[in-house]
Chain A
Amino acid sequence: MAVTVKFFANLRESLGISATTVDYVQGMKISDVWNAATKEREMPTGLLTAVNMDYEKNDIPVSDNDEVAFFPMVSGG
């Protein structure tokens, strides 16, 4: 029962981790995943989040085996 967590770009650098796993707890939301993965560091403003590679808002619940990603504003093209 776990959730995979990924971080990208300057967020990955500032946290010093690119990926980790956290224990899945029934009812946990994306914000709970952030707190578990970062030891409750303050979430930067403007951070984008994705669950299983689709954009989602922080207050939605996650499921066991989900992949949750946190990253800053994108800048491709």
Chain B
Amino acid sequence: MRIELRSQAFHPWSELEGHERRMSLSGRCGAAAIFVGTMRDFNEGENVQGMFLEHYPGMTETQLQQICESAAERWTLLDTLVLHRVGEISVGDAIVLVCVRAAHRGDAFDACRAIMEELKHHAPFWKKETLVATERWVEKNTSGYAVKKS
């Protein structure tokens, strides 16, 4: 299990490659579920030019650790990686990377989804968006569940 906050931009796919090299799961791992959240240039009908991600140092890491440990108790996992940005963020930057490895896809898929949803609701981060003429705090996250097309 590895959890890190990053104040500088990171490349999620390079991070995954490096993390995989450090692990020795070959043969045991049958599934990897990966979520990468990136910064959009729009939100709630406004163009967004940048963002500042505030966090609560100490509590953020503690909450992320608890979220990952809870997932490891609920599902059979081999490894969990969570990277999350803090500070100034540019459009297109990766904000969060979650990678869950397991022997079977069910555990990997479900745990990855659960970790993201728990992170969204409990990890103490706050987004402040820079719009064209002003700034605003994001007061709630978008739903993690898509509306199906009819």
Contacts and interface: CB of A to CB of B under 8 A. Distances in A.
Contacts of A50: 56, 59, 124
Given A8-B54, A8-B56, A73 B139 contact: yes
A74 B121 contact: yes
Nearest to B117: A77
A75 B56 CA distance: 12
A50 to B, nearest CB: 6
Interface in A42-59: 50, 53-55
B126 A9 contact: yes
Which of A50, A54, A55, A74 has the largest count of B CB atoms less than 10 A from its CB? A74
A76 B56 contact: no
Interface residues of A, number: 16
| Interface majority SS (helix, strand, loop, mixed), chain B | mixed
Contacts of A76: 53, 55, 84, 95-96, 119-120, 123-127
Contact of B54 (A9, A69, A73, A77): A9
A9 B59 contact: no
Which of A50, A53, A77 has the largest count of B CB atoms less than 10 A from its CB? A77
A69 to B, nearest CB: 6
Interface of B: 37, 53-56, 58-59, 62-63, 84, 95-96, 116, 119-128, 137-141
Interface of A: 6, 8-10, 50, 53-55, 69, 71-77
Nearest 4 A/B pairs, CB to CB: A76-B125, A9-B126, A53-B59, A75-B138
